[in-house]
Structure 1
Amino acid sequence: MPDTPLKQAHAPDVSPRPSACPGLWRIVSARDGGICRIKLPGGLLLADQADAVAEAAERFAGGVIEATNRGNLQIRGIGSDHQGLIARLLAAGLGPREAAGDDVRNLMLSPLAGHDPAMLLDARPLAGQILDLLEGTPRFHQLSAKFAVLLDAGEGLAMLEHPHDLWLSALPIEQRTWLAFGLAGCPADGQVLGAVPVEQGLALVRAVLERFLDLAAVDQSRMRQLLECYSPAAFVEGLGLDIRRDAAVLEWRRPTRQPEWLGVLPQAHGLALGVAPPQGRLTPEMLRGAARIARHQGDGSLRLSPWQSLVLTNLDPGQITQAQGELSTLGLLCHSHEPLARISACTGSSGCAKAQGETKADAVALAALLGPGVPGSVHLSGCPRSCAVAHIAPATLLARSPGRYDLYVRDARLPGFGALRGIDLTLNEAGAMLDLPTEHLDD
């Protein structure tokens, strides 16, 4: 996928279609002001674009910028000048060619796509074709703003647990690269339904989207809803493509490992650096600082990750320690052993009327109670929707009331957050339980 911004259209006066999700043109109201979501092509943000986002957040909002779990950005606390904000972002190349194509740009890549030493192919050219297909096909603009596609090229730094309506994963068979695919799931645990040669990847995406729209009822906006009354096998049979479905494909499982997304990261050539804003919230100073280092010491780009972090690629190895120091001074987390790096939280009651607790502040307080070796990760959710994470965290604290939480531990045998391990806990009580080795939590 080319590292260049897309051409822009003038911002319309109204949203291209009804949706409750924020977008670039559609600013949604929240308790702390308006929210604008900037969908980035494969998570790519150029340094000059980062500066534009920082400026827009200061000029038109309260200066709060959020990294999302889908590799995008949000500006929160937007005031009354919506058109001024939109125009500034469009001028920086932070939108699609047409307003109607904004919602459907939901394609997730590895933040090291094209650079990861473990990749089986460079995903960016196919990703660019898929984005062009989504944006340029009027019929696909009927898709839900949440309908999402994952393109996994076998990278080591890859989020494999987020569910997607369609996922594709590179599969080597007989010295040839194929794309295995599944529906309404993820490569970590999803059922493989078939594979096509990588050259047919775009045709597969088109066929899946066309068939979904052919079959889905008005109230079936997501693939999982369609599959409740239509079998995956029947869906695949009607794609009109030559789908490989032998044992080498259907019994394949994506190799997985726990990725490290913070600190110095290996590239096929050179080094990358992963940093994270605490709780996914960037200040304008943080974003400008990261852009400055990317511009002067790297390739002039930032990659947003599904871990609500940033990856700076192609950094000068001789200056990477200095870069880490400068970013740490700005308040960015640079090492995975920092307790706050393993804690995420939703917006909380200051920004969301549904939240039962001030999760962002509580997460900071909880981090101070935890030792450096806390296993896995912890998510604080203000309500059962848990909209700030796309998969179930190893441990979830669900707010009951201000400062009090129920503790759940992920269990693949149980639905929802997993096994309930503590009820109506204070932060001190939750911290004491989370500081235990994992095997004690699982008892």
Structure 2
Amino acid sequence: MPPTPDAVVPGPGAPDRDRSDACPGALRLHTADDGSLARIRIPGGLLTDRQAIALAEAAEELGDGELETTSRGNVQLRGLPSDSGLELGRRLRAAGLLPSDTHERVRNIVASPAAGLDGLGHADVQDWARELDRRLCASEAAAGLSGKFLFALDDGRGDVAALDADVTLIATAGGGALLRLGRAATARPVPPGRAAEGAVRAAEEFLHALRATGTKAWHLREAPELLDPGTEELPALPGAAPAPGALPGGLSVGLRFGRVGAARWRLLAAASAGELRLTPWRGVILPGAAAGRLPELAAAGFRTDPGSAWERASACTGLPGCARSRADVRADAARALDAAARRSAPGGLPVHWSGCERRCGHPAGEWVDVLATGQGYRVTRVGASAKAPADVSVNVTTERMAEAVAEARRIK
């Protein structure tokens, strides 16, 4: 799987910012061991049921029949022929999923997926996502952003704000927002009605500052000195993802490692009330969907019960899809998680399995890093915490990996 990780984790050196980033897109495909890969940006994770069906048809007719959701709420298609970019682009334009050829890789926008459903937030950030997408595509300068640059729109509950995006908007009472740049400890106030405008302007300021100083960076956190972060105090950012199951205004389901076949993807579209919201935690919110659909979705293999070992578990592609990988990490991870589920072991901290030091798709914050070594796995609890020391590693065989992961995930 392509591109370097976005956070500092044990092992890899500093990424090379003197080259352009290699993030794949819908039109610029990435060559993998299992064929070409397309990454389709889904701003705010928002899909209509018809758009979801269009993606399923593209996966079946052009790719390997599977769809992957990413840690940014986007969709990947794999196993594509190398010459399928033109046809895929045609299909995406017809479905309204490719409004700009020049900006398609920079439309990385995550938004609080339960916004407007449970009464917990201050704003319907789905509207912000739509406006931000329009403004991004209309900004000539924004086309120069890295394909890794991320916008996060938080309705005030602190979920996507904890993802350490490049530009984060946090809704406040009264219709305004706070604008956080990278990992700054403070934020800029944004008046009501100006949230999306402020986010695009901040991204444009970053690009201008890069050109003016000759700095090489893909992310704001790599050059925090370039922009004024503001002086407003940040609210608490708990980072809680929606739990699987019934929500006040719909359903929440999880996808194992974010990957699902086209037939089961269609089942999600059929269970929806016309809209799907992909989450950065490889789940899907179905606003307005009836709770009576949960047994059907559970029987199809979707995660519908909170608290299982599978919660907040992710993995990179691994073998055989990625030549860099040292192991079939998804198969090894699935065995470990199924074993923990049989013991009714709770999930605990987020955990991510990686086949190499790139650690593609790993979570932010405190998490358990499970890295294939060729002789087994290295299990590391990453991220400073008042509850436990960070970055303490243990090397284990594949057979003992499940036990080591369960111990590292415990919140003490």
TM-score (norm 2): 0.86
Partner in structure 2 of residue 311 of structure 1: 285
- CA 1:331–1:24 in structure 2 vs 1: closer, same or farther (change >3 Å)? same
Structure 1 position 33 matched with structure 2 position 15: no
How large is the Cα RMSD of the aligned pairs?
2.5
Partner in structure 2 of residue 239 of structure 1: none
Partner in structure 2 of residue 192 of structure 1: 186
**Post-superposition CA distance 1:337-363 (Å, at most 9, x none):** 333334211000211122221111111
**Counterparts of 1:60-79 in structure 2 under 5 Å?**
60-79=62-81
Answer 1 or 2: higher relative contact order, Cα 8 Å, separation at least 6: 2
The residue identity in structure 2 corresponding to 1:162 is: L
Contact 1:336–1:342 at 8 Å: present in 2 too? no
The residue identity in structure 2 corresponding to 1:225 is: E
Partner in structure 2 of residue 420 of structure 1: 392
Contact 2:157–2:237 at 8 Å: present in 1 too? no
3-state SS of paired residue (1:412): coil
Structure 1 position 220 matched with structure 2 position 214: no
- CA 1:45–1:177 in structure 2 vs 1: closer, same or farther (change >3 Å)? closer
3-state SS of paired residue (1:65): strand
Contact 1:37–1:73 at 8 Å: present in 2 too? yes
Structure 1 position 264 matched with structure 2 position 237: no
**Aligned match of 2:265 in 273, 280, 287?**
287
In structure 1, distance between residues paired with 2:219 and 2:79: 29
**Counterparts of 1:60-209 in structure 2 under 5 Å?**
60-82=62-84, 83-96=86-99, 98-155=100-157, 158-172=159-173, 176-185=174-183, 190-209=184-203
In structure 2, distance between residues paired with 1:202 and 1:333: 33
- CA 1:32–1:257 in structure 2 vs 1: closer, same or farther (change >3 Å)? closer
Contact 2:161–2:169 at 8 Å: present in 1 too? no
Partner in structure 2 of residue 330 of structure 1: 300
Q: What is the Cα deviation at residue 85 of structure 1? A: 2.6
**Post-superposition CA distance 1:257-277 (Å, at most 9, x none):** 6344311122xxxx3111122
Partner in structure 1 of residue 8 of structure 2: none
Which is higher, the Rg of structure 1 or of structure 2? Answer: 1
Structure 1 position 368 matched with structure 2 position 338: yes
The residue identity in structure 2 corresponding to 1:349 is: L
Partner in structure 2 of residue 13 of structure 1: none
In structure 2, distance between residues paired with 1:117 and 1:49: 27
In structure 2, distance between residues paired with 1:18 and 1:377: 31
Partner in structure 1 of residue 235 of structure 2: 253
Contact 2:110–2:160 at 8 Å: present in 1 too? no
Q: What is the Cα deviation at residue 330 of structure 1? A: 1.8
Q: What is the Cα deviation at residue 283 of structure 1? A: 0.4
**Aligned match of 1:405 in 371, 377, 398?**
377
- CA 1:161–1:385 in structure 2 vs 1: closer, same or farther (change >3 Å)? farther
Unmatched segments (≥5 aa) in structure 1 = 1-16, 237-242
- CA 1:285–1:177 in structure 2 vs 1: closer, same or farther (change >3 Å)? same
Q: What is the Cα deviation at residue 196 of structure 1? A: 2.2
In structure 1, distance between residues paired with 2:116 and 2:392: 41
3-state SS of paired residue (1:288): helix
Q: What is the Cα deviation at residue 132 of structure 1? A: 1.1
The residue identity in structure 2 corresponding to 1:339 is: A
Equivalent pairs counted in the alignment come to 385
- CA 1:95–1:418 in structure 2 vs 1: closer, same or farther (change >3 Å)? farther
The residue identity in structure 1 corresponding to 2:238 is: T
- CA 1:169–1:315 in structure 2 vs 1: closer, same or farther (change >3 Å)? same
Q: What is the Cα deviation at residue 154 of structure 1? A: 1.4
In structure 1, distance between residues paired with 2:404 and 2:130: 46
Contact 2:35–2:82 at 8 Å: present in 1 too? no
Partner in structure 1 of residue 404 of structure 2: 433
In structure 2, distance between residues paired with 1:378 and 1:18: 30
Q: What is the Cα deviation at residue 178 of structure 1? A: 2.9
Q: What is the Cα deviation at residue 231 of structure 1? A: 5.4
**Post-superposition CA distance 1:351-394 (Å, at most 9, x none):** 11222211111111111221323322321111222121241552
In structure 2, distance between residues paired with 1:45 and 1:408: 36
3-state SS of paired residue (1:362): helix
3-state SS of paired residue (1:214): helix
- CA 1:348–1:143 in structure 2 vs 1: closer, same or farther (change >3 Å)? same
**Post-superposition CA distance 1:298-353 (Å, at most 9, x none):** 2x11110001111111123xxx13x1111122221111233333421100021112
Partner in structure 2 of residue 5 of structure 1: none
Question: Aligned residues: percent identity?
Answer: 30
Partner in structure 1 of residue 360 of structure 2: 387
In structure 1, distance between residues paired with 2:120 and 2:97: 30
- CA 1:373–1:43 in structure 2 vs 1: closer, same or farther (change >3 Å)? same
Unmatched segments (≥5 aa) in structure 2 = 1-18
- Shifted more, 115-124 versus 129-138: the winner is 115-124
The residue identity in structure 2 corresponding to 1:88 is: R
- CA 1:57–1:272 in structure 2 vs 1: closer, same or farther (change >3 Å)? same
**Post-superposition CA distance 1:143-188 (Å, at most 9, x none):** 11111111111147x333322111111233xxx3431222112xxx
Partner in structure 2 of residue 14 of structure 1: none
The residue identity in structure 1 corresponding to 2:358 is: R
Contact 2:250–2:289 at 8 Å: present in 1 too? yes
In structure 2, distance between residues paired with 1:283 and 1:413: 37
- Shifted more, 86-95 versus 405-414: the winner is 405-414
- CA 1:66–1:381 in structure 2 vs 1: closer, same or farther (change >3 Å)? same
3-state SS of paired residue (1:254): coil
**Aligned match of 2:350 in 377, 387, 400?**
377
In structure 1, distance between residues paired with 2:162 and 2:237: 12
- CA 1:324–1:90 in structure 2 vs 1: closer, same or farther (change >3 Å)? same
TM-score (norm 1): 0.80
